[in-house]
Amino acid sequence: MISYQYPAKLDKQATILLASKEQVKKRDFANLNSSIHNEVCRTLDINLFSGEREELFPVVIQKQIVLLVGIGDENKLSLTALRVVLRNALLSSYLKKTKEIEIIPPIQNDNIVKAAIEGIVIGTYSWEKYKTQDKNKEPVSAKKIFIAAPHKKEYEDAERICAGVNCTRDLVNDNADTITATYVEKIIRGLVQGKKNITLEVLNKKELARHGLGLHLAVNQGSAKEPRLIIVRYHGSLKSGDYTAIIGKGMTFDTGGLNLKPSGHIETMRIDMSGAAAVVGLLKNTIALNLRKNILFVCAMAENAIGAEAYKPGDVICSYSGKTVEIGNTDAEGRLVLADAMSYLVKNYKPARMIDIATLTGACVIALGHDYTGLVTNDDKLFQKLSQSADATDDRLWRLPIYPELKDAVKSQIADIKNVGLPKGAAGTITAAEFLHQFTEGTPWAHLDIAGTAFVENKQRMYFGHGATGASVRLLTHFLQYN
């Protein structure tokens, strides 16, 4: 989809010229040949384009379009804004029928080019599998796009990472009855097939019961669909041991159980497997980048359905770790399957660190909105590394506290622990994290709550259109690359 050529050739059907206000003022367009430069300057001379951010203006030169795209003040340009303006340009009606597009960055800079790649691949993604109209409309992914930059491996890697993000988005956006636990298992088996440095352990319903993963089974017992705990051991380093475990919550649909979710909240609950989908995208990236690290990729898959067999509020269930759990609310189910998965990993795989990723709490949306993932961790070094990766990838996170007294919030009067925290939903995000903390057995651990960041319900948020965003795939890929 993307090719690289340097210097700019200006020989395609369309050229996107990313221009700052300073460039417009000085008429500083060194990449343009004289004839195109003159035509662009004529447009500027009559004040039809000033370079303001997100400003678009087409210049037609014979059979070619030069689309002027404003990026605002050059010294204030953020990479986020660059992704946004490039997305808007590529999806504009001006380029609807073009088949080849050349993009000229404002400056030659690796971060600028990689942000442009993300604006192209992530920004123009759309989920249209079930649309029966506009079948003749050519998506941006079908166009040939050329970036006026020298070819580099890190640009190819950026494309691979974006492909992993979009793989995650496809899984989240599809129907819940399509993306079942067995379907995810099939996808993972396809990714790892033939890889000598990868082993796979899959626990089905019978094996979950045999091993005693009581919490996982309880959540799924109202469903006719099979649960799964899928563990991929990726041995990419010669160093023995020292595995990083990435654990994804995989609720293929979450009704809330007998504590049924109301209208206005239940409709998008196919997204409750966004954590597991992120793990799949991360696995895809790890294989594509051939990372020299030891990693455990874990998908804890279940469906929280209602029916005669569903688990009930007030039940006390024994976890894999041996701790008994009082069920205060059947809609606090994700932490249950994650708790059993974490305990199973600690005992059988002994990872050096664990990171779980989950659409865990609506409280996180209240606290942080939709642009920042919530982070809770018991390890300051892990926080620092994850924070650095978040800054590098624009896959944002914000740390929330965890502290010794918080364990009192999840105490039960009839069991060892309960799956809900303080009354009236107070501190819902950090009490949910504290529940998980009880199953880490001292392992360095971080919890990423992507409830707010995993999905866009309105038309657009930043450079994401409607639907799944692939939250934390870029963040965790960078973390694994550089730590």
C-alpha angle with apex 348: 346 to 350, nearest 5 degrees? 45
DSSP 340-380: HHHHHHHHHT--SEEEEEE---HHHHHHHTTS-EEEEES-H
Q: Which of 335, 396, 418, 474 is catalytic?
A: 335
- The DSSP code for 329 is -
As a dihedral over the C-alpha atoms of residue 216, residue 434, residue 270, residue 162, rounded to 10 degrees, the angle is -110
* Chain-centroid distance, C-alpha 46: 44
CB count, 10 Å around CB of 405? 7
Active site residue 239: no
User: Could you give the CA distance from residue 94 to residue 91 in angstroms, rounded to a whole number?
Assistant: 8
- Cα end-to-end span (Å), the chain: 30
Q: What are phi and psi of 261, to 5 degrees?
A: -70, 145
Peptide bond into 7 cis (omega under 30): yes
Active site residue 9: no
Q: If we measure between CA atoms, which residue out of 24, 8, 61, 70 comes closest to residue 39? A: 61
Q: Which of 261, 399, 407, 461 is catalytic?
A: 261
User: Could you give the CA distance from residue 470 to residue 451 in angstroms, rounded to a whole number?
Assistant: 12
Long-range pairs of 25-29 with CB within 8 A, sequence gap ≥ 24: 25/51
Distances (CA, A) of 168 to 63, 173, 179, 233, 285: 39, 9, 11, 20, 11
User: Is 419:411 a contact under the CB 8 Å cutoff?
Assistant: no
Cα dihedral sign, 208-214-215-220: positive
Residues marked as catalytic: 261, 335
